[in-house]
């Protein structure tokens, strides 16, 4: 059985492109029939590896029911080096294959390819570095909006932030706000859908996008 895994970060984001790409790959490249493909899909953040269908996929892989896993990109199945390594190791240890379409990576349990192993880790390193650089840009953006006494005097805290003693601090929904705004900028989500997802008005989303530097975008 071939397991195709698709994930998006919000309830409004569409899974269709991932589904189409993974099914076409399984059929055209791996010669699978529709009856030999099992679909797994989640709508949640990439850092949440307790997501329901991810757990179901890994359980089926480790039970020997799924021999090949197909995903559209690394970011769909992992968002950190640790998560990528853990997932790849579990699939390999179960004797299954992992195919990542966009990056052109194939991991087979009976092949020890140093190039592929290094590339897996290198891509994970760059994914983590990008996230850390985005956080740094966010901190720099906040600093640029403080006055000389180190306090923030621009009215209400921006979307995704709280104010504490005149300073901006990341709110509980900061990561969700950044992920959602990033999708809006990339044209993957409408501003109206983003406002629904974040529980705010569209003007609030517009103001946040005008302050893209605050979010490392």
Among 55-64, 86-95, 96-105, 125-134, the range scoring the smallest mean pLDDT is 125-134
What is the per-residue pLDDT across 19-52, written as a single tens digit (0 to 9) for each? 999 999 999 999 999 999 999 998 765 444 457 8
pTM beyond 0.85, yes or no: no
Strands 161-164 and 105-107: unpaired
**Pairwise CA distance, residues 181 & 190, whole Å:** 10
| The predicted structure's pLDDT at residue 47 | 47
Q: Minimal CA–CA distance to 67: which of 41, 100, 89, 36? A: 36
| The predicted structure's pLDDT at residue 82 | 67
What is the per-residue pLDDT across 151-201, written as a single tens digit (0 to 9) for each? 555 677 888 888 777 677 778 788 778 878 888 888 878 899 889 888 899
Q: Which residues share a beta bridge with 41?
A: 6
Domain boundaries, the chain: 2-123, 145-215
Q: Which residue has the higher pLDDT, 81 or 60?
A: 60
Among 41-45, 105-109, 120-124, the range scoring the smallest mean pLDDT is 120-124
| 118, pLDDT greater than 50 | yes
Mean pLDDT of the chain: 80
The CATH number of domain 2-123 is 3.40.50.1390: yes
Residue with tokens 């859908």: 193
**Pairwise CA distance, residues 15 & 76, whole Å:** 11
Q: Which residues share a beta bridge with 69?
A: 3, 98
| The predicted structure's pLDDT at residue 148 | 42
């Amino acid at each position: 059985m071939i397991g195709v895994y698709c994930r998006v970060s919000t309830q409004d984001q569409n899974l269709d492109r991932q589904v189409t790409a993974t099914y076409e790959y399984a059929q055209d490249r791996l010669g699978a029939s529709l009856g030999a493909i099992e679909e797994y899909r989640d709508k949640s953040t990439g850092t949440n590896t307790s997501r329901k269908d991810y757990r179901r996929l890994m359980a089926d892989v480790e039970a020997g029911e799924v021999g090949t896993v197909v995903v559209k990109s690394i970011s769909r199945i992992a968002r950190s080096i640790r998560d990528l390594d853990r997932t790849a190791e579990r699939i390999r240890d179960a004797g299954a294959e992992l195919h990542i379409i966009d990056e052109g990576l194939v991991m087979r349990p009976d092949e020890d390819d140093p190039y592929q192993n290094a590339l897996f880790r290198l891509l994970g390193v760059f994914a983590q570095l990008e996230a850390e650089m985005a956080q740094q840009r966010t901190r720099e953006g906040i600093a640029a909006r403080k006055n000389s006494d180190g306090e923030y005097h621009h009215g209400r805290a921006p979307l995704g932030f709280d104010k504490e003693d005149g300073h901006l601090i990341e709110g509980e929904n900061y990561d969700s706000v950044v992920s959602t705004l990033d999708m809006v900028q990339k044209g993957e989500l409408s501003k109206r859908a983003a406002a629904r997802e974040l529980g705010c008005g569209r003007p609030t989303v517009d103001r946040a996008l005008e302050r893209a530097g605050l979010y490392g975008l």
